[in-house]
Amino acid sequence: MKSLFAVVVAILSGLIVLAGYFFSAPALLAARTTMLDWAVTLAGMAGLVSITHLIFGVHIKRLRESGSKRFFSLIVILVFISTLGAGLYFGPAHPQYQKVVTAVQVPIETSLMAVLAVTMAYSSLRMLKRQRNWMGVIFFLSVILFLVINSGALAFSADIPVLQELLSGFHQIPAAGARGILLGVALGSLATGIRILIGSDRPYSG
Amino acid sequence: MSQYEPLIGAVVVILFAVSVLLLSGKQAGKKASLIFRTLPGVNKLKRAVGLAVEDGTRLHVSLGSGSLIDPACPSGLTGLATLDRIGQLTSTSDLPPMSTSGSGGFQILSQDVIGQNAVVTNTRDRMDATLAQLAGVTSFSYAAGTIEALRESGTSANVFLGSFGAEAGLLCESAERLNSFTLAGSNSVIGQSVFLALTKDALISEELYVLPAYLGAKVAHQASLRVQDIFRLVIILILIAGAVFKVMNWI
């Protein structure tokens, strides 16, 4: 059950941080900065707790089960222990430690990015099959149009005044669309924040 | 930033909060019945929830790789509210929903939400510590971890709600390969365009934030949806007035 104490603490903390953002009273600013520092520390601790849960709650459990996934879980656990050990010994800011971690992480994420590029290209080709509606057709045509415009294939338009102005106008369309989307996102974020601030939405039990 | 901007911000927040509180009241809720704009994806999700309960399959809610201390965290919090509601709707199922997240804060909160649901619906025996997982701490490691979790859990429907970027493409492709239904929404423009291109049902802009209201979560969700609509109308009027004033050279 949700504890009243947790709800009161959450609402008060939210109000103090929000008031510190809108009003520049020194006491409010000091309280806001301190609370945000606590939040960063707590977020770090939450990360540590979650990683521990991932290793001991998920992968150790999987080691006990039969199946080919055990091997990968074993690798995850061994790499986690060695990274943790090296991090504690050298310190996370040590250049050699950073170099080793980056040398593993960057190639893996780059490979995933390459897979993503192929996946996106292939899936985009199938988009019209998936979205057989006006939205899908307009989206598809817009993608083609802006790919052509941004590819530089229409560079000759600099010599044709009307075409140049037309293309310049087209360049404004994505910004206008993004602005509309972001206004909606801002309103939705405000609504979510307010629900949590007034205590009607409580994603914590306390 | 001008000296009036914080004041305007404070007034907007206070007006919004007061309006939500007023419309959340029982009397206000009784007086005005809500008519929702049809979102086909949400109707399909409701159907997928029903099918999951009948088939005994699992639903997956992905909260994205955003952190609780990011300005983008409201999208993840909306995902949590959706997880809560889906947990209630599937309380009669053998398999409670699972969740993946990309930050420690969201993983702990999602575990808490699933745990609370298990207590409320008296299904603690079906609780499993692996139902709320931290899939990865960077965007691509999160995608890789989530794909693995999807394959293992045998989910029949996925709800991607939170902070997603280009890595969402990998998740959508994986969900499609598993023949599972996907409803997706992101706070980022990149994530939204990827979802629109790669899924049948994408939530655009504020549609992401109204999903709990559409699923009938709480009165406050529906009240905030009404206030959101009123504020949107006001913003549209201000934008049109601004454009007219600019054309007329009055400002």
A68 and A110 share a domain? Answer: no
Distances (CA, A) of B150 to A29, A43, B88, B160, B201: 44, 26, 21, 12, 18
B79 and B105 share a domain? Answer: yes
Q: What is the pLDDT of residues B190-203, one digit of tens each?
A: 999 999 888 989 99
Q: What is the pLDDT of residue B51?
A: 93
Name the minimum distance, in Å, from the CA of A169 to any CA of chain B: 17
B195 and B231 share a domain? Answer: no
How many domains does chain B fold into? 2
Which residue numbers in chain B have pLDDT < 50?
none
Does any CB of chain B come closer than 8 Å to the CB of residue A76? no
* Most confidently modeled range among A26-40, A123-137, B123-137: A26-40
B62 and B170 share a domain? Answer: yes
pTM of the predicted model over 0.80? yes
A182 and A206 share a domain? Answer: yes
Distances (CA, A) of B121 to A1, A108, B87, B90, B217: 12, 42, 9, 10, 15
B73 and B192 share a domain? Answer: yes
How many domains does chain A fold into? 3
Q: Which amino acid belongs to residue B157?
A: A
Q: What is the pLDDT of residues A144-180, one digit of tens each?
A: 888 888 888 887 877 888 888 888 888 888 888 888 9
A86 and A100 share a domain? Answer: no
Q: Could you tell me the CATH number of the domain that includes residue B133? A: 3.40.50
Nearest CB to A109: which of B10, B12, B138?
B138
DSSP characters for B91-121? TTSSS--EEEESSHHHHHHHHHHHHHHHHHT
Residue A111 has pLDDT above 90, yes or no: yes
Q: What is the pLDDT of residue B207?
A: 92
A18 and A67 share a domain? Answer: yes
What is the share, in percent, of chain A residues with pLDDT greater than 90?
40
Does any CB of chain B come closer than 8 Å to the CB of residue A143? yes
Residue A67 has pLDDT above 80, yes or no: no
Put simply, the answer to whether A51 touches B137 (Cβ < 8 Å) is yes
Tell me which of A128 and A120 has the higher pLDDT. A120
Q: What is the pLDDT of residue B233?
A: 93
B52 and B164 share a domain? Answer: yes
CA-based nearest residue to B85, from B205, B239, B206, B218? B218
A179 and A133 share a domain? Answer: yes
Domain final position from A124, A145, A176? A124
A101 and A75 share a domain? Answer: no
Domain that holds residue A42: 1-90
Q: What is the pLDDT of residues A80-106, one digit of tens each?
A: 999 999 999 999 899 999 998 899 889
Does any CB of chain B come closer than 8 Å to the CB of residue A193? yes
A188 and A105 share a domain? Answer: no
A22 and A70 share a domain? Answer: yes
B74 and B56 share a domain? Answer: yes
Does any CB of chain B come closer than 8 Å to the CB of residue A188? yes
Helix (H, G, I), strand (E, B) or coil at A1: coil
Put simply, the answer to whether A116 touches B109 (Cβ < 8 Å) is no
Which phi and psi (to 5°) does residue B160 adopt? Answer: -100, 105
* Nearest-by-CA chain A residue for B139: A109
Q: What is the pLDDT of residue A164?
A: 82
A133 and A104 share a domain? Answer: no
Residue A20 and residue A32 in contact, taking contact as beta carbons nearer than 8 Å? yes
Residue B143 neighbours by CB under 8 Å, 6+ apart? A112, B65, B135, B136, B167, B168, B170, B171
Question: In this predicted complex, what is the ipTM?
Answer: 0.90
Joined together, the tokens standing for residue B163 give: 């902070």
Put simply, the answer to whether A46 touches B172 (Cβ < 8 Å) is no
B44 and B139 share a domain? Answer: yes
B93 and B194 share a domain? Answer: yes
CA-based nearest residue to B164, from B65, B60, B73? B65
Q: What is the mean pLDDT of chain A?
A: 87
Domain that holds residue B18: 1-33+227-251
Q: What is the pLDDT of residue A48?
A: 92
Residue A1 has pLDDT above 60, yes or no: no
The CA-based angle B223-B226-B228, given to 5 degrees, is 110
Largest CA distance in chain B: 69
Put simply, the answer to whether A203 touches B112 (Cβ < 8 Å) is yes
Put simply, the answer to whether A112 touches B170 (Cβ < 8 Å) is yes
Does any CB of chain A come closer than 8 Å to the CB of residue B65? no
A43 and A79 share a domain? Answer: yes
Domain final position from A65, A90, A115? A90
Q: What is the pLDDT of residue A112?
A: 92
A206 and A155 share a domain? Answer: yes
Q: What is the pLDDT of residues B106-120, one digit of tens each?
A: 999 999 999 988 888
Q: Residue B49: inside a domain, yes or no?
A: yes
A15 and A82 share a domain? Answer: yes
Q: Residue B222: inside a domain, yes or no?
A: no
B27 and B46 share a domain? Answer: no
